[in-house]
Structure 1
């Protein structure tokens, strides 16, 4: 499986001619990410993970394209393009399904707490082919599973470095790459990733940075 990292939280997965994209948001290079896409997963409703106009455009352009998302996102897509409503599917923690030839299991259920005055929204983390885990905006550990590749939200208004490091240590994936890095400058990213890499290595995780547009074979 080929993983391509795009700016912030969007990733593209390819295998055997099939293409799955997770979280095409407003900070990401969505035209490149969605080229030839055969299925889309969306973790939650925030615009840095879900560019509604772009996803509606993808649905309109491809009548067979399935989109899987939490109910509030799915409802917004159905309302925005009723003609494509049958292509949009609700996801929730505990669900499993296959889309575009990729096996998907769902975890979590809610977004990490930003502040008590800010309502918590639904968030679904996706484990793809039993190997790669995209948690969206949460640090939920998929219990009882050996994740092979972890996508780590390295920085957000709802997190601190200690929590991110503990997440990496708890999952104990052999390899990890950063996501949710679009709000950090080069200096902040370097400091944050150095802590994750150092402590992660002590617990068996090889963490490394992927540049926007960079691909790696998993």
Structure 2
């Protein structure tokens, strides 16, 4: 399975001629990421994870594309005249197939930003038991060790210690960064130096992926 990272939290997976894209948000190269897409998975409704205008335009142009997302995302896409039959509401602790991909869901709630800011539903996705995209959460998949984990590197709702603890808790073989668009180049270097070091202490390889960079994921 080929994984391609785009800016921030958008990731594209390709397998057996099928394309699955996670979190095509406003900071990402949405049209490029969605080129030839079959299935879109969205973790939550925040615009940096789901650009409903651009995603809606792609869905109207390509009626065969399917979307799996929390209820709030589905509601926004329906408002943009996307047929509900193509939109599938997901919750945590479920599983489904999307073409050749098998998907498990975890989590359920966005990480707390501030007590005065309401939380929203957030669903993390494990694809083919090979790669985990947690969205805006440090939820660890229960009962499953996923070899490749996408780690939210920096956010208004996190601190570096929590990032490190999340990586250690997943027991992943390798991690790649997502949710990194708010970091300057200097800030990215500072955070990645510490995260890579402590990941390595616990046997996990940290590998930075630049936007549009691809990596082949081993089969599980």
The verdict on a shared fold, with TM-score over 0.5 as the criterion, is yes
Rounded Cα–Cα distance in structure 1 between residues aligned with 2:214 and 2:190? 23
Instruction: Verify the 8 A CA contact 1:106 1:127 in the aligned structure 2.
Output: yes
Q: How does 1:15-164 map to 2 (within 5 A)?
A: 15-82=15-82, 84-164=83-163
Corresponding residue SS for 1:63: coil
Offset at 1:152?
Answer: 0.4
CA displacement 1:168-211 (0-9 Å, x = unmatched): 00001001100000000011011111111111111111001000
Shift of 1:150: 0.3
Distance in 1 of aligned mates of 2:86 and 2:58: 11
Name the CA distance, whole Å, in 2 between partners of 1:100 and 1:59.
17
1: CA distance, partners of 2:134 / 2:4? 16
Unaligned runs of 5+ in 2: none
**What is the TM-score with the length of structure 1 in the denominator?**
0.98
| Contact 1:131–1:146, Cα closer than 8 Å, also in 2 | no
In structure 2, C-alpha distance between the alignment counterparts of 1:72 and 1:29, rounded to whole Å? 22
Aligned residues: 217
Normalising by structure 2, we get a TM-score of 0.97
How far did 1:214 drift?
0.4
Structure-1 separation of matches of 2:215 and 2:173: 15
Q: Which runs of 4+ in 1 moved over 2 A?
A: none
Post-superposition Cα deviations, 1:133-164, rounded to whole Å, max 9, x if no partner, equal: 00000000001111010000000000000000
Q: Which residue in 1 is equivalent to 2:184?
A: 185
Distance, in Å, in 1 between the alignment partners of 2:80 and 2:28 is: 21
Whether contact under 8 Å (1:135, 1:151) holds in the other structure is: yes
- Aligned partner of 2:205 in structure 1 is 206
Q: Deviations over 1:97-118 (max 9, x none)?
A: 0012211100000000000000
In 2, the alpha carbon distance for the partners of 1:31 and 1:65 equals 14
2: CA distance, partners of 1:78 / 1:101: 26
